Amino acid sequence: MHHLRPAVIPCVLFFIWILTSLIGCSSPVKLPVLEQDDVVLAFGDSITFGTGAKPHESYPARLETIIGRKVINEGVPGEVTAQGLARLAGLLERERPALMILCHGGNDQLRKLKLEQSAENLRQMIRLARNNNVSVVLIAVPAPGLFVSPATLYRDIAREYAVPLEENTLSDILANHSFKSDLIHPNAAGYQRLAEAVALLLKKHGAI
């Protein structure tokens, strides 16, 4: 069996570092710039609705103030992804948004529905939006468990569809008691933090 000479090992390690750096430096997905009169559709369940805070403290309301564009709150508490998919087409036709912020799937996980079907419902929502010339941003929802961390399906879907993903902020919020109104919902401070994270994501990807 051949062994690498000591002088060769640093070169190999350096090559591996360069390769991983190049892989990690891929340019972010570009979103179309939001014009001042464009509409943003915040679509989801109780997290989008703002359960645990006043209406003007929800993340869509806070986001509207931050980015200076109209943000429509279409969050329905208790809704699962199959129900969301069923109502999305009508909303897209009525509101004509330029961008959809999709934050859905938490109730599927709480009800222990099949995650494969939940993921497919999310994929169909993204395809439906794109077929209507609507850009999409995805917010990952934490998976139930002792440790609050984002469900992996969101990262998989974001990669598959080249969709900007806000992966960790909601999990970080729900892991911190000072940002929660109950076990599964943020409070006003938590929604403010989520809105700020989404705004930063939109800026990173060129929408604002």
What pairs with residue 71 in β-bridges? Answer: 40
Instruction: Going from the first residue of the chain to its last (208 residues), give the mean pLDDT of each consecutive group of 10, the final group possibly shorter.
Output: 52 51 58 97 98 98 98 98 98 98 96 96 98 98 81 96 97 96 96 98 98
Q: Cα–Cα distance between 102 and 75 in angstroms, integer?
A: 10
Mean pLDDT of the chain: 90
The pTM (predicted TM-score) of the whole model is 0.86
pLDDT value, residue 148:
84
Q: Which of 28, 23, 22 is nearest to 162 (CA)?
A: 28
Q: Cα–Cα distance between 114 and 112 in angstroms, integer?
A: 7
The token duo for 96 is 């004509």
Of the chain, the end-to-end C-alpha distance in Å amounts to 57
Please name each of the domains of the chain with its CATH number.
Answer: 38-204 (3.40.50.1110)
pLDDT value, residue 6:
53
